[in-house]
Amino acid sequence: MNGTTTDAAASAPRKNPTWVVATIAGGFGVFYAYAVWNALGNLIEAAPLGLNGLGWFLWIFATVFPILALAAAFAVGFRRPVHHFFLVMLTGLALTAVFWLNVVAYTTTNTLSLLT
């Protein structure tokens, strides 16, 4: 028996079932979508008040950031083992939550700096 075939088989990455990856991504996607929905709702609510450039940037970035975090977490984790993929998606969601708390804190304490 040749040692190279077993070494090659052992070093080949295991392929996760597509349904498992889709289920994990979809489950976390709902929470990422909630963050996008909240930011978009706040943008729509604040727009008639007359946002300045900083206000527009803040709310648009708050809307786009969860999408970027989801895409980055998916790109980093989908070829890894299932438990690693789960943890990468959870880390991206935690990063989104921290960012969202920072946006809420900033807009609450500095509301007048965002308006024209």
pLDDT in the model for residue 72:
97
Q: What is the domain extent for residue 63?
A: 18-114
Number of structural domains (the chain) is 1
Instruction: List the one residue out of 63, 76, 57 whose CA is nearest residue 32.
Output: 63
Residue 6 lies in a domain: no
Residue 67 lies in a domain: yes
Residue 26 lies in a domain: yes
pLDDT in the model for residue 116:
81
Contact between residue 36 and residue 66 where contact means Cβ atoms under 8 Å apart:
yes
Residue 69 lies in a domain: yes
Chunked into runs of 10 residues, the chain (116 residues) has average pLDDT values of 57 78 96 96 91 92 97 95 96 96 92 84
Residue 12 lies in a domain: no
Q: 104: left (phi > 0), else alpha (psi -120 to 50), else beta? A: alpha
Instruction: List the one residue out of 68, 48, 58 whose CA is nearest residue 116.
Output: 48
pLDDT in the model for residue 16:
85
d(CA 79, CA 94): 21
Residue 9 lies in a domain: no
pLDDT in the model for residue 2:
58
Residue 11 lies in a domain: no
Residue 63 lies in a domain: yes
